[in-house]
Chain A
């Protein structure tokens, strides 16, 4: 039987698994966990949504998740990636957004549904440092697949923006 207590324990373990490329947020903050449950035979089954198809962190995250579960005493684990429905930045939790901004990465603006068209205008992104809305997109592609490069026109700091997907 799956008990609520067991699921809560599992979720606590998952909340300790940090994204190796953005170590300010966990896989729970990023909304990557589709399901987490313990089967009657004791196996912990976790489904994770990969953020980008080519994200090199995905394989590492699967491994880190298994290691964290083993360390917490769950001997038998089965972690799989779930493609559908595709992960969206809309699933990043409010806490995750707050952590991203505190870390210096502007969280996604608006909903991913806003950028259905091929030439959607760039959103107004708030500078994570001085909070100015007066910022400019430098490039839609940044240090990792999930980020764009922006610069603040007031404090002049360049910063990463976690772009809508």
Chain B
């Protein structure tokens, strides 16, 4: 069975939304990092993620073939049309919150891209092969920070334990198999999200052990909704800020 182009379009949009929203979140750290090197590190990661988002939006626009552009897809859709995971839209919080969120997402993105790189859908596999190499640097960076904070001072440890407890319920959604994922996975186009879960759990457990932290209960209650357009209140504020200029001045040129 061959995959449907409209399914691929929706799939690419979800990945685009994940990387765009997280890239936008991270860029909010610009000028606010605790030290210059780490400020620069987060904005570098943000730049890579926005670059990946552009790649996904460009392929989605090409598959829609209705004249829409990458910018239309990023700037002219509202909250219910966004299909990103809830995890990436959550506020930055403090440094530990941002790095734990990043660690959970990077580790997921690393394994996702590793598998997408073998997709028979050329556009997806080409972007994944490229992005995979960038994300391996992200994943190493965020894991190192989780280890440093967990195995650090009493204060850093207490804070990061709280970050993990707060963010953990948002990790289950990364491995939710929607009907769209099932159709595409059955056709062999993309990996089934749930098939990445054991790899992710193993790596997260390994890193948390190095950080002298405990793995939360994998069977805990998990939040859902982002993939179906049901978001937290935070996404609307993020989009309002990000989309203001192109919506207010539709003819603006860079």
Report which A residues bind B (CB closer than 8 A).
50, 52-56, 83-88, 112, 115, 118-120, 138-143, 145, 149, 163, 165
In the complex, the chain A residue whose C-beta lies closest to that of B122 is: A84
* Cross-interface CB contact of B129 among A50, A52, A86, A149, cutoff 8 Å: A86
The answer to whether B51 touches A118, judged by C-beta atoms less than 8 angstroms apart, is: no
The answer to whether A85 touches B129, judged by C-beta atoms less than 8 angstroms apart, is: yes
Report which B residues bind A (CB closer than 8 A).
37-38, 40-41, 44-45, 47-52, 54-55, 110, 122, 125-127, 129-131, 133-134, 136-137, 139-141, 143, 203
The answer to whether A53 touches B140, judged by C-beta atoms less than 8 angstroms apart, is: no
Chain B min CB distance to A46 (Å): 19
The answer to whether B126 touches A83, judged by C-beta atoms less than 8 angstroms apart, is: yes
The answer to whether A52 touches B134, judged by C-beta atoms less than 8 angstroms apart, is: yes
Chain B min CB distance to A140 (Å): 6
Chain A min CB distance to B54 (Å): 7
Residues on A with C-beta less than 8 A from B37 are: 138-139, 141, 149
Residues on B with C-beta less than 8 A from A56 are: 47
The answer to whether B110 touches A118, judged by C-beta atoms less than 8 angstroms apart, is: yes
Q: Closest 6 interchain pairs by CB?
A: A54-B51, A53-B51, A141-B41, A141-B44, A84-B126, A54-B47
Residues on A with C-beta less than 8 A from B125 are: 84
Distance in angstroms between the alpha carbons of A120 and B48 in the assembled complex: 20
Residues on B with C-beta less than 8 A from A54 are: 47-52, 54
The answer to whether A53 touches B129, judged by C-beta atoms less than 8 angstroms apart, is: no
Residues on A with C-beta less than 8 A from B52 are: 53-54
In the complex, the chain A residue whose C-beta lies closest to that of B45 is: A141
The answer to whether B140 touches A119, judged by C-beta atoms less than 8 angstroms apart, is: yes
Chain B min CB distance to A74 (Å): 26
The answer to whether A86 touches B133, judged by C-beta atoms less than 8 angstroms apart, is: yes
Distance in angstroms between the alpha carbons of A138 and B129 in the assembled complex: 27
Q: From known contacts A53-B54, A139-B38, A141-B40, infer whether A118 and B136 are also in contact, taking CB-CB under 8 Å.
A: yes
Distance in angstroms between the alpha carbons of A141 and B136 in the assembled complex: 12
Residues on B with C-beta less than 8 A from A140 are: 41, 137, 140-141
